[in-house]
Amino acid sequence: MLLRQIFDEKLAQYAYLIGCPRTGAAIVVDPERDVDRYLELAAANGLRLEAVVETHIHADFVSGVRELAARDPEIAVYLSVEGGEDWSYRWPASDGRACTFLRDGDSIRIGNVELRARHTPGHTPEHLVFEVVDHGGGADQPMALLAGDFVFVGDLGRPDLLESAAGVVGAREPAARALYASARRFLELPEWLQVFPGHGAGSACGKALGAVPSTTVGYERRFSPALAAVAAGERAFVDFILAGQPEPPVYFARMKRWNRDGPPILGALPQPDRLDAAGLAAAAAGSVVVLDTRRDRRAYFARHLRGSLFAPWNRTFPTIAGSYLEPEQKVVLVVEPGNFDEAVRNLVRVGLDRIIGWSPPATLAELPEAAVAATPHLDFAAGFDRALAEPGALVVDVRSAAEYEEGHVEGAVQMAHTRLAAEAESLPRGRPLLVHCETGSRASSATAYLERRGFDVRYVDGRFDDWQRRTA
């Protein structure tokens, strides 16, 4: 048996390619939308991709299952049917696409490899995990569990997203109780069983995910705080698992609907034109949104294209883009040539396909002065206290609600940076907004977004805990 883990570092997502070298057949589990990667990996290992399966309806990225189904009608599609009417896949029927719907106990055979489905509701109602049995190697017991968003390294998948992201009122606690029951069944599995999760550290699908790529049932039984909470009983577990979950990005609701109803077919990756300074300025003057990916936030605030958004080239890039943009908006990238292909892939994975142009950062130096702007820049060590004393000044804290509860500036408004698109209009116009986070990173993107929306903003850099200690 061949098993390959394919990691998207920025969304902290794992897909899996599983193949049977003896027969040449392969299946991909939980693919993202730019599916050429999986086809190429299969071919590089002498395999042909014959099937695709998904553990659940994802909220954090656009699924590649429909994309593969549209690209090759011979690929067999396997999806869960355990979610009930509201959270059952709808796109196969609308596409007229043959699909095998799986229930608890059903199996998929790929050559001499078997994937046994187990229903594990909680993170989502329809969630399945897959026990992997290598019959070609002589095994009759599973060697691994493809855990999806059920079990992570050091955590369990959060059960609140149907309510907090998709708006299903009252879904949090019943989902947490279902997760408790699923976790108890997980604890009965053999200790040696390897666990391959759907996400690693940095994903918003849990609150304490580990940064290693796999684990075992025995290790999680001993050291996972979420599984330790199971021993305290259902009520204690529900309280533990729902407490402190970060606010989900606003695009999660869209991803959830798209992946249930059918995301748009991509076909091929966008091929945007390279723009010179004149083209870049003209694009920004219209309805296009410019995403500036420079890493240096001080350089961005000192001189940037008027109305642009700041989405620095790091792990947060697709999350910021997905949170601040809508699928119908046209996008131009300011990006280093070496990062261009990956940036395009990052955007289509969160449903942003209308990428019409790009320019390297050096082009910004050639822009006319009328096209550029600067943003007031403060620091917790110098300038913040003075700005706080300005008439009407309002502090906007773009950290999570849990961070805010641990300590905040008196009178500050808490608004998680990934929720600004849904909540910004509740902020007052005509008052100076002092925007901060813990280190200045999240606040930099939030400031650029609020500035584009027409608010009077001041960016606050530096460490908030330094200011707290100084003013304690």
pLDDT at residue 378 is higher than 80: yes
Per-residue confidence band for 204, with pLDDT thresholds at 50, 70 and 90: confident
Average pLDDT over residues 423-434: 96
Q: Residue 287: its pLDDT value, please? A: 87
Q: Residue 104: its pLDDT value, please? A: 98
Per-residue confidence band for 328, with pLDDT thresholds at 50, 70 and 90: very high
**Rounded to whole angstroms, how far apart are CA atoms 25 and 153?**
29
How would you list the strands of the sheet with 377-379, edge to edge? Answer: 377-379, 457-461, 433-436, 394-397, 413-414
Q: Residue 207: its pLDDT value, please? A: 87
Q: Do the Cβ atoms of 180 and 157 come closer than 8 Å? A: no
Q: Do the Cβ atoms of 113 and 119 come closer than 8 Å? A: no
Q: Residue 335: its pLDDT value, please? A: 98
Q: Do the Cβ atoms of 158 and 51 come closer than 8 Å? A: no
- Site of tokens 């955590």: 155
Q: Residue 166: its pLDDT value, please? A: 87
| Residue (of 94, 87, 89, 237) closest to 166 by Cα position | 87
- C-alpha 430 chain-centroid distance: 34
Helical H segments across 107-171, by residue range? 161-164
pLDDT in tens, 125-184: 999 999 999 999 999 999 999 999 999 999 999 999 999 998 889 999 999 999 999 999
Q: Residue 392: its pLDDT value, please? A: 95
Q: Do the Cβ atoms of 185 and 105 come closer than 8 Å? A: no
Per-residue confidence band for 202, with pLDDT thresholds at 50, 70 and 90: confident
Structural domains of the chain ordered from first start: 2-261 (3.60.15.10), 273-373 (3.40.250.10), 377-471 (3.40.250.10)
Per-residue confidence band for 382, with pLDDT thresholds at 50, 70 and 90: confident
Helical H segments across 187-245, by residue range? 217-223, 225-228, 234-242
Per-residue confidence band for 389, with pLDDT thresholds at 50, 70 and 90: very high
Per-residue confidence band for 329, with pLDDT thresholds at 50, 70 and 90: very high
Q: Do the Cβ atoms of 90 and 99 come closer than 8 Å? A: no
Give the H or E element holding residue 69: helix 65-71
Average pLDDT over residues 117-128: 97
Strands of 85-188, DSSP E: 100-102, 107-110, 113-119, 128-134, 144-148, 151-152, 155-156
Average pLDDT over residues 41-59: 98
pLDDT at residue 206 is higher than 90: no
Q: Residue 156: its pLDDT value, please? A: 97
Tell me what the pLDDT averaged over the chain comes to.
Answer: 96
Average pLDDT over residues 285-307: 95
Strands of 316-379, DSSP E: 331-334, 355-359, 372-373, 377-379
DSSP 430-451: SS-EEEE-SSSHHHHHHHHHHH
Q: Do the Cβ atoms of 77 and 35 come closer than 8 Å? A: no
The token pair at 127 is 């969630």
pLDDT at residue 472 is higher than 80: no
pLDDT at residue 261 is higher than 90: yes
pLDDT at residue 208 is higher than 90: no
**Rounded to whole angstroms, how far apart are CA atoms 10 and 318?**
7
Q: Residue 87: its pLDDT value, please? A: 85
Burial class (CB in 10 A: 0-12, 13-18, 19+), 277: middle
Percent of the chain topping pLDDT 90: 92
**Rounded to whole angstroms, how far apart are CA atoms 78 and 317?**
31
Q: Residue 85: its pLDDT value, please? A: 84
Per-residue confidence band for 258, with pLDDT thresholds at 50, 70 and 90: very high
Average pLDDT over residues 391-412: 96
**Rounded to whole angstroms, how far apart are CA atoms 19 and 38?**
12
Rg (CA), the chain: 23
φ, ψ for residue 27 (rounded to 5)?
Answer: -135, 145
Q: Residue 1: its pLDDT value, please? A: 96
- Site of tokens 């010179």: 276
Q: Do the Cβ atoms of 155 and 210 come closer than 8 Å? A: yes
φ, ψ for residue 141 (rounded to 5)?
Answer: -120, 150
Helical H segments across 397-440, by residue range? 401-406, 420-423
Per-residue confidence band for 42, with pLDDT thresholds at 50, 70 and 90: very high
pLDDT at residue 83 is higher than 90: no
DSSP-assigned beta bridge partners for residue 134: 113
Q: Do the Cβ atoms of 336 and 330 come closer than 8 Å? A: no
**Rounded to whole angstroms, how far apart are CA atoms 430 and 44?**
58
- Site of tokens 């997502």: 13
DSSP 266-285: --S---PEE--HHHHHHHHH
Per-residue confidence band for 323, with pLDDT thresholds at 50, 70 and 90: very high
pLDDT at residue 187 is higher than 80: yes
